[in-house]
Amino acid sequence: MDENVFSVLYSDIPSRPNVAVNVLVGMEALKAGNGWNDAELYDNFCYDLQVRYALGYDRLGDGEFEIRTLYNFRERLSKYNVKEGVNLLEKAFEQITDAQIVDLKVRTGMQRMDSTQIASNIVSASRLQLLVAAIQRVERILSEGDKKRLAENFAPYIKDSAGHYTYRVKGAEAVQEHLQKVGESIYAMLSELKTEYATESAYQVLERIFTDNFHILERGIQAKGNKELSSGCLQSVDDLEATYRTKGTKHYKGYVANITETCDPENDCNS
């Protein structure tokens, strides 16, 4: 792997050598491929000779570093992506793929494609639970003065967790009634708080989830039916990019990735 791609993350002043980027990237690939959490990833790096050999080490003890190094690496990648709009991991894998195509003499003119679902590590929540959770997030960012001024508006939704709120709602008709009531409350909150809080992420999430779930009509607002919700509607107040999808008979909350593989019959190998 060409580590020069990541040189934009290096310090401009004299400092300690960094952990090899190919090791950090390799660890991320092993984590994703094996479904490990960070603790499992680090344990395998420290004690599994096969994992260490895959990363370029042939003895225990070589190349040791603190797990915080991996966290810092992720943080720098994320900040650079946000600031410059460049995904350095994507560029690195493009370079690796291009090198493999040349070395293996793979013809890429004929390919087949399929999609796969990447599950999001989020708690599955109902529409009503998500709406209440979004309200609670907004209440937390209010100034003390606004909390007192709008205490009556928020009171029904902050007495307990969003899960407990929905637990007490029984039956489809009751759920629909609460959806309508919550929607009306959110509509009023958005109007009341827009001037002071429109740039806050919690406000923007509340605005998005309201748009996902309600119509604004001349006579007021109306909850959308389940079949009117798009696949891109908010699935979690913590994971704003997760989507909902049905493939075959299974339902997923997470991300969709398209996978392509070469399939030219004249290739010695296809991937």
Model confidence at 123: pLDDT above 60: no
Model confidence at 115: pLDDT above 80: no
Q: Which two tokens stand for residue 198?
A: 């429109």
pLDDT value at residue 121: 56
Secondary structure of residue 217 in the 3-state scheme: strand
Q: What is the spatial distance between Cα 271 and Cα 104, in angstroms, rounded to a whole number?
A: 11
Mean pLDDT of 144-165: 91
pLDDT tens figures, 21-54:
999 999 998 998 888 888 999 999 999 999 999 9
> Per the confidence metrics, is the pTM higher than 0.95?
no
Using pLDDT thresholds of 50, 70 and 90, give the confidence band for residue 252: low
Model confidence at 182: pLDDT above 60: yes
Domain boundaries, the chain: 3-106, 127-241
Query: Who contacts 229 (Cβ-Cβ below 8 Å, separation ≥6)?
Result: 127, 212, 213, 244
Q: What is the spatial distance between Cα 210 and Cα 214, in angstroms, rounded to a whole number?
A: 6
pLDDT value at residue 12: 82
Closest by CA to 261, choosing from 108, 144, 158, 150, is 108
Q: What is the spatial distance between Cα 30 and Cα 258, in angstroms, rounded to a whole number?
A: 20
Using pLDDT thresholds of 50, 70 and 90, give the confidence band for residue 134: very high
Outline where the chain has alpha helix (H).
Answer: 21-34, 38-47, 49-54, 67-84, 88-104, 127-141, 144-149, 151-158, 162-167, 172-197, 201-213
DSSP state for residue 20 in the 8-state scheme: P
Model confidence at 118: pLDDT above 70: no
Task: Let me know if 1 is exposed, middle or buried by CB neighbors in 10 A (0-12, 13-18, 19+).
Answer: middle
